[in-house]
């Protein structure tokens, strides 16, 4: 065998698996294969001047490369079992929290010291939410910020470099079973290992489906979250974000009893576009460094949809909606809330006249022509519900960017060790459908590394 362990994907799942393995047994021969670039080379060409919108790079620097989809994220590590994945249902709630706290400590030791840990415990907002038919989910949130997140990733890279062979610009094409292990096929070469950890994230979702078909690994459809990203003056949410930074608030709509929730809150942040397999959607992040902060706060409002019979392609449904918005707006569409409820499209003039200056150059348009009525109605209801706890949310000038789609990978059948039906083939992080956050994905990496180390020690 060329290696003891091959890891596919250098996102948080892969990085933390490699970190824990190399720490636990420095003699292990480990390789990481990654489609994208090393951290220092990752750069999105959108500069707001020469390149103002997504040019569909072959490998998206936002989604791929060392650090994975999380590299330029806001670096919010949510330590909770309430959201971010269902790791706890495989490994138990206590273990999941313990691993997330362990990851947090590693981040602190690698440049994150001094960053703030927010908590919903005893938050006055909890009661205010209840009084207004909203529910605040419990969590501790470590906010690294995009800048410190990159520092932490840089240090982890330096730690791993001498211990792990890293192959960048090297997408794994196929994973094959061989005697005593696995063979990964990359362009023009192949490598073998006794054990294989797949951590291909969201950008690797289509490829992961193929791997499961090739290796007869059972899968199940997952949900898709569809909605918009709101941007408004930071002052309107400061009483919430100053205390909690990130608050996950859930609302059940009166009309359809659908759940709408806030997601990925970025105080003083910026709205960004992202490209997943050629589909441009919206996202957001913010910097810890005050010099890079803006006057706006942004967060998503999402509605979950899950299809099973006779149509089961939840992601396909989300993709179609995103494609429709890309068709109408050439990318991300932005609309003032006042225009949305008056049934008219936004224009550059109306947005220019507004009191909220957009942080993303998106095409002014009409989101009601993109989102299904049921989802749009739910979002409008939620905006009015939030207006009760943060007056001003439903102002005419509040900006809505669309569409935001959270694609979830299908659930890959894994056991309590996150191991597939093939012994020694682990599937972790977002590509397993088990996690969808930095903290859960990282924790899943540590978890399988410990399982491997324990089995090696026992054997």
Ligand X SMILES: Cc1cc2nc3c(=O)[nH]c(=O)nc-3n(C[C@H](O)[C@H](O)[C@H](O)COP(=O)(O)OP(=O)(O)OC[C@H]3O[C@@H](n4cnc5c(N)ncnc54)[C@H](O)[C@@H]3O)c2cc1C
Task: By CB under 6 A, name the binding residues for ligand X.
Answer: 8-14, 33-36, 62-65, 68-70, 73-76, 78, 84, 171-172, 199-204, 207, 264, 274, 283, 285, 429-431, 436-439, 441
CA distances to 173, 190, 248, 277 from 33, in Å:
11, 11, 34, 19
Q: How far is the CB of 342 from ligand X (least distance, A)?
A: 31
C-alpha 362, offset from chain centre? 21
Nearest CB to ligand X, comparing residues 189 and 458: 189
Say what the alpha-carbon torsion angle 169, 171, 177, 183 is, to the nearest 10 degrees.
-20
Of residues 340, 348, 341, 342, the one with CA closest to residue 366 = 340
Q: How far is the CB of 144 from ligand X (least distance, A)?
A: 9
Nearest CB to ligand X, comparing residues 380 and 431: 431
What the block records as the tokens of 16 is 């933390």
What strands, in cross-sheet order, belong to the sheet with 76-79? Answer: 76-79, 140-143, 116-119
Nearest CB to ligand X, comparing residues 148 and 438: 438
Contact (Cβ atoms closer than 8 angstroms) between residue 32 and residue 38: no
Q: How far is the CB of 406 from ligand X (least distance, A)?
A: 9
- Residues with Cβ < 8 Å from 201, sequence gap 6 or more? 9, 11, 13, 63, 68, 69, 429, 430, 431, 441
Nearest CB to ligand X, comparing residues 198 and 380: 198
Nearest CB to ligand X, comparing residues 136 and 265: 265
Q: How far is the CB of 6 from ligand X (least distance, A)?
A: 10
Nearest CB to ligand X, comparing residues 33 and 337: 33
Nearest CB to ligand X, comparing residues 166 and 394: 166
Q: How far is the CB of 308 from ligand X (least distance, A)?
A: 24
Q: How far is the CB of 54 from ligand X (least distance, A)?
A: 13
- Kindly report the CA angle at 82 between 416 and 301, in degrees rounded to 5? 125
Cα–Cα distance for residue pair 219/443, rounded to 1 Å:
22
Full DSSP string of 313-332: -HHHHHHHHHHHHHHHHSS-
Nearest CB to ligand X, comparing residues 337 and 408: 408
- Residues with Cβ < 8 Å from 325, sequence gap 6 or more? 332, 333, 367, 370, 402, 403
Query: Looking at the DSSP assignment, which residues form a beta bridge with residue 336?
Result: 399
Q: How far is the CB of 292 from ligand X (least distance, A)?
A: 16
Q: How far is the CB of 272 from ligand X (least distance, A)?
A: 6
Contact (Cβ atoms closer than 8 angstroms) between residue 144 and residue 107: yes
End-to-end CA distance of the chain: give it in Å, rounded: 18
Nearest CB to ligand X, comparing residues 9 and 331: 9
What the block records as the tokens of 406 is 């959270």
Q: How far is the CB of 384 from ligand X (least distance, A)?
A: 27
């Amino acid at each position: 065998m060329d290696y003891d362990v091959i890891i596919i994907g250098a996102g948080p799942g892969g990085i933390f698996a490699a970190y824990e393995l190399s720490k636990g047994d420095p003699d292990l021969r480990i390789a990481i294969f990654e489609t994208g670039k090393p951290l220092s080379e990752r750069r999105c060409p959108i500069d707001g001047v020469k390149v103002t919108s997504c040019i569909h790079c072959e490998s998206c620097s936002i989604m791929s490369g060392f650090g994975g989809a999380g590299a330029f994220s806001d670096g919010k590590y949510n330590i909770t079992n309430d959201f971010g994945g269902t790791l706890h249902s495989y490994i138990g709630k206590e273990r999941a929290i313990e691993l997330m706290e362990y990851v947090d400590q590693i981040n602190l030791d690698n440049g994150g010291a001094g960053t703030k840990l927010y908590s919903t415990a005893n938050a006055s907002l909890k009661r205010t939410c209840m009084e207004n038919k909203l529910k605040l989910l419990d969590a501790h949130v470590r906010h690294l910020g995009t800048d410190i997140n990159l520092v932490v990733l840089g240090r982890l890279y330096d730690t791993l470099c001498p211990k792990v062979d890293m192959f960048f610009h090297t997408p794994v094409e196929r994973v094959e079973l061989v005697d005593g292990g696995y063979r990964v096929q990359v362009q023009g070469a192949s490598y073998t290992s006794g054990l294989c950890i797949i951590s291909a994230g969201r950008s690797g979702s289509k490829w992961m489906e193929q791997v499961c078909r090739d290796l007869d690994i059972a899968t199940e459809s997952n949900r898709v979250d569809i909605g918009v990203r709101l941007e408004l003056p930071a002052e309107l949410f400061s009483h919430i974000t100053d205390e909690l930074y990130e608050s996950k608030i859930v609302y059940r709509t009166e009309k359809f009893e659908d759940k709408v929730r806030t997601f990925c809150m970025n105080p003083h942040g910026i709205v960004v576009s992202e490209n997943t397999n050629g589909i441009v959607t919206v996202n957001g992040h913010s910097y810890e460094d005050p010099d890079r902060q803006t006057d706006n706060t942004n967060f998503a409002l999402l509605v979950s949809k899950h299809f099973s019979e006779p149509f089961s392609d939840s992601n396909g449904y989300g993709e179609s909606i995103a494609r429709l918005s890309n068709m109408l707006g050439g990318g991300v569409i932005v609309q003032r809330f006042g225009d949305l409820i008056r049934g008219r499209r936004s224009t550059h003039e109306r947005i220019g006249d507004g009191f909220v200056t957009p942080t993303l150059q998106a095409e002014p348009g009409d989101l009601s022509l993109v989102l299904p009525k049921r989802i749009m109605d739910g979002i409008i209801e939620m905006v009015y519900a939030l207006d009760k706890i943060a007056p001003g949310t439903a102002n005419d000038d509040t900006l809505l960017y669309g569409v935001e789609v959270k694609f979830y990978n299908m659930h890959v059948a894994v056991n309590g060790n996150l191991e597939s039906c093939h012994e020694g083939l682990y599937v972790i992080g977002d590509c397993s459908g088990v996690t969808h956050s930095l903290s859960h994905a990282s924790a899943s990496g540590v978890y399988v590394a410990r399982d491997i180390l324990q089995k090696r020690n026992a054997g």
